[in-house]
Each structure stands twice: as C-alpha cells, then as structure tokens.
C-alpha cells in the first residue's frame, strides 16, 4: 500500500515538473515593474574606488541635465565617461535611477527569474516582479531597493572592469 502511494506521489511530481511553464507576457511584467521618471532634481554621489563624487540629475519634461563634481567623470543623457573611457548609456540617467527601460521585449527565460530581451540587446532580469539587473553591451546595472517615490536609491554599475555605486540621497521638486 505504501509503495503504491509513493509511486503515485512520485508520478504526480514527475508530471508536474515536466509540465510546460506559462511565461507572462513582457507587457505584464513591465507594467508592474516600470515607474516613469518624475520631474525634479535628484542628488547623490557616485562611489568609485575611494572617491565619492557628487552628482546632480535635473529632469524637466524631456530635458535632462547632469552635473558631476569631478573632472575625471562626465555624464550626458547618453554617454558615461570615466578617466577618458566612454560608454554608451542604454537610456537617460533619470530612467536608469527609476529602472525604466522602454522598448519592445521578448521573454528569453522564465524559470524562477524572468529575463526579457530587446532587439538592441538589453536584457532585464526580474525576480518576483521586481527589476534586479540590466545588462547592455559591456554595461551592467544591479538594483537595490526602490524608494517610496519610485526611484532606486542604490545602483551598482559595472562596466568592463570598472565597478561603481550610484547612491541617490534624495529628490527635490
């Protein structure tokens, strides 16, 4: 009797584990995870090695201005430069701090974590409906917790062998 029950239980788990998984549509994932950037002035710092570099991001409508308090770093709406080496940003800086990457995506994988991929190569990694990582060319972003206002306070930036941490301390309207 125990053998039959064990066999039935084993068969149930075997069938359940082999059943096809239904992945959510990209639009459903993005609708829950994306928050559009709000206008305002975001201030914080970029931590690179032992440096704490002040940074200010001013967003007003479609216009964005970035100020950095160190000559070795420059950031525009589409390029990040550190010590003479520049990298293309996947989106504007305000969209990075909100984890907002608008595009057309397809589901690449959905077992435990969901990975969405765009035609230009952006990969978005979600765990339990929350954006955790973004990979684009040589550029990688790792997200911490989201604030009540919708932006991420801590973002780790990895570019090739450079590792920096962007910390947003606040927002003024």
- The whole-angstrom separation of Cα 140 and Cα 155 is 10
Share above pLDDT 90 across residues of the chain, in percent, rounded to a whole number: 58
Class (C level, CATH) for 24-172? mainly beta
- pLDDT (tens digit, 9 = 90+) per residue, 52-62? 999 999 999 99
Query: What pTM was computed for the model?
Result: 0.82
Q: Where are the extended beta strands (E) located within the chain? A: 40-48, 51-60, 63-68, 73-75, 79-82, 85-88, 105-111, 113-118, 123-127, 130-136, 139-143, 154-159, 162-172
Domain ranges of the chain: 24-172
Average pLDDT over all residues of the chain:
87
């Amino acid at each position: 009797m125990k053998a039959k029950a064990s066999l039935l239980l084993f068969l149930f788990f075997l069938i359940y584990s082999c059943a096809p998984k239904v992945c959510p549509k990209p639009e459903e994932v993005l609708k829950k995870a994306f928050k559009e950037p709000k206008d305002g002035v975001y201030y914080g710092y970029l931590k690179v090695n032992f440096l704490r570099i002040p940074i200010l991001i001013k967003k007003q409508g479609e216009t964005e201005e970035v100020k950095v308090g160190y000559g070795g770093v420059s950031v525009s709406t589409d390029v990040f430069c550190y010590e003479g080496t520049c990298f293309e940003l996947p989106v504007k800086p305000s969209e990075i701090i909100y984890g907002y990457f608008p595009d057309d995506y397809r589901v690449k994988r959905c077992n435990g974590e969901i990975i969405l991929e765009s035609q230009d190569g952006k990969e978005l990694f979600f765990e339990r409906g929350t954006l955790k990582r973004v990979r684009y060319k040589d550029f990688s972003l790792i997200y911490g917790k989201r604030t009540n206002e919708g932006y991420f306070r801590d973002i780790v930036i990895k570019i090739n062998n450079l590792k920096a941490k962007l910390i947003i301390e606040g927002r003024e309207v």
